[in-house]
Amino acid sequence: MKLKLICYWVLTVTATVELLVGAEWDLAHRPDVVQLVTHLGYPTYVLTILGFWKLLAVIAWLVPGFPRLKEWAYAGVFFETTGAAASHIASGNKLIDASWPLILAALGMASWALRPQSRRFTVTSISSTTSIPARS
C-alpha cells in the first residue's frame, strides 16, 4: 500500500509541476507558445483561459478534501491534454508533437487511478446531510 501512495505522489507532483510550468508559459504568452497556438488555429486569448484553469487544476489536485472538485480537475486536464494532441494531429504536425500532451494525459490518468481513498469521490464522501433521491 505504501508503494502505491509513493507512486501516486511522484506522478501527481510530476504532473502538477508540468501544469504549473505550462500555466506560467500560457499566462506569460511566451512567444514560442503564442506561435504554436496560432499555428494550431486558436486565438491567443485562449492561453489566458488555459493558464488560469491549469492553475486551478493544480490547486484542486493538491489541496486535501473536495473529492468532487478533484474529479472535475482530473477530467479537465484529460480533456485539455487530449484536445491538444488532437489539435496537433489535425493541423498536420508530426506525431511526436502530439506525444507530449498524451504523456501528460497518461500521468494524470495514472495519478487519478492511484489516488488514495481519502481523495476519491464516492457516495460516502457526500455529506450525511445530503439526501439522494430514490429511483422510482
- Span of 42-51, 57-66, 87-96, 123-132 with lowest mean pLDDT: 123-132
pTM for this one? 0.80
Q: Is residue 105 within 8 Å of residue 77, measured between CB atoms?
A: yes
Eight-class DSSP state of 119: G
Cα separation of 1 and 100, whole Å?
Answer: 30
Q: What is the rounded (10 degree) CA torsion for 73, 74, 80, 83?
A: -150
Cα separation of 94 and 87, whole Å?
Answer: 11
Q: Is residue 98 within 8 Å of residue 85, measured between CB atoms?
A: yes
Residue keyed to cell 477530467: 75
pLDDT tens, residue by residue, 14-63: 999 999 999 999 999 999 999 999 999 999 999 999 999 999 999 999 99
Q: Is residue 105 within 8 Å of residue 79, measured between CB atoms?
A: no
* pLDDT of amino acid 126: 53
User: Of the spans 30-34, 113-117, 128-132, which averages the highest pLDDT?
Assistant: 30-34
Q: Is residue 23 within 8 Å of residue 126, measured between CB atoms?
A: no
